[in-house]
Amino acid sequence: MKTLVPLLVCAASPLCAHVMSMSTGDVTIEGSHAHYELSMPVYEIAQLSNPDTVLLEHIKFSTAGQPGRLVKKSCHEDMPQGAYLCSADYEFPVPVDRLDAECTLYQVTVPNHVHLLRAVKDGKNDQAIFDFSFTNAQIRFTPPTRAEIAITQTGAGFVRALGGLVQILFLATLALAARSRRELAALAGAFLIGQIAVAVLAPRINWDPPPRFVEAATALTIAYMAVEILALPAAGKRWLIAGALGVFHGLYFALFLRNSEFSAFYVLTGAALAELLLIAIFGFVFARIGRLAASLKPVQVSASLLLGIGMFWFFLRLRG
């Protein structure tokens, strides 16, 4: 019927990446001076021997082609917040009109790391998002148009939906669990409803679970769906399970929305488009492969591999 073996063989290596890997930065511009504050989760820098130097080396500012000179910096751990905090002051040769920023923090944290940069100048606000695919941005301190807001924030949701291995593997698991096109549509719809509901409601009810819990629970969503496929191959109402598991994936977007202050409508629309597209691709590819290799029991083999990956990831996050 379908198989996930090729995907798992290619994707099993980067298991050390976090599901929720995000940091924030705030930069305030006054004339030719800039003050920058970085907040990085402590667990993201456990492998760094000198984070006070390394982190600031991977965020650079310039204006009109002139780099900002670092004149002062300080870093410390804030254990109650579980964050590593840095502040830095920069001086530019000319007054800052437009701020150019380069961020490569993903190189020293994990490949799917996201950095949200907020900027203020003369009461005007702007922000930029950085990850492995977008390392440079120009902050113009001019109010964006409605079209620019819609495109930027929808695009951010689209990219974030596909930004981590666990998200992609779970979407593949949904396609694997579906026994017909109709059931695939039901699973996808229930998953999206659960995800969107939590992303919208979590900030309103002050539900803010620790990242370690969210990562461990999200890893278990893969394992649980794999168990459902293996132990209950004829079970009905799998869409209920998909909706419940979508709750844990929605917590990632709740965190992103809280930190970015983006519109939930635009971000979740972009995320839904990306997820539906990937589910459709998985469903099509798995069905084609499955017809050619039905005698090899591809569903059982793929589900077993998913179960192993999900459980390994779960215990890795509990220990991490």
Per the confidence metrics, is the pTM higher than 0.85? Answer: no
| Residue 40, in any domain of the structure | yes
| Residue 153, in any domain of the structure | no
CA dihedral sign of residues 302, 308, 311, 313: negative
pLDDT at 143 (0 to 100) = 79
pLDDT at 28 (0 to 100) = 96
pLDDT at 260 (0 to 100) = 80
pLDDT at 295 (0 to 100) = 57
**CATH number of domain containing 107:** 2.60.40
Same domain, 280 and 184: yes
Same domain, 28 and 134: yes
pLDDT at 7 (0 to 100) = 40
Same domain, 109 and 198: no
Tell me if 190 sits within 8 A of 239, measured CB to CB: yes
Mark residue 62 as left, alpha or beta (left: phi above 0; alpha: psi -120 to 50; beta: remaining): beta
| Residue 150, in any domain of the structure | no
| Residue 47, in any domain of the structure | yes
Number of domains the chain is built from: 2
Same domain, 75 and 106: yes
Tokens of 38: 């970085």
Same domain, 77 and 174: no
Tell me if 72 sits within 8 A of 88, measured CB to CB: yes
For β-strands 59-63 and 66-67, DSSP reports them as antiparallel
> Quick one: which of 211, 33, 35, 21 has its CA closest to 118?
35
Same domain, 304 and 183: yes
| Residue 159, in any domain of the structure | no
Classify each residue of 17-48 as buried b or exposed e, where b means 16 or more C-beta atoms within 10 Å of its C-beta: bbbbbbbbbbbebeeeebebebbbbebbbeee
pLDDT at 278 (0 to 100) = 93
| Residue 151, in any domain of the structure | no
> Quick one: which of 252, 223, 243 has its CA closest to 161?
252
Tokens of 74: 């300080």
| Residue 157, in any domain of the structure | no
Domain that holds residue 64: 22-144
Same domain, 208 and 117: no
Same domain, 102 and 217: no
Contacts of 252 (CB under 8 A, 6+ apart): 19, 20, 160, 167, 214, 218
Same domain, 170 and 299: yes
Same domain, 11 and 80: no
Same domain, 107 and 209: no
Same domain, 115 and 171: no
Query: What's the average pLDDT block by block, 10 residues per block, for the chain (320 residues)?
Result: 39 49 92 96 85 94 94 91 92 95 93 90 90 90 87 90 78 83 92 93 76 71 76 76 84 84 92 94 81 61 71 66
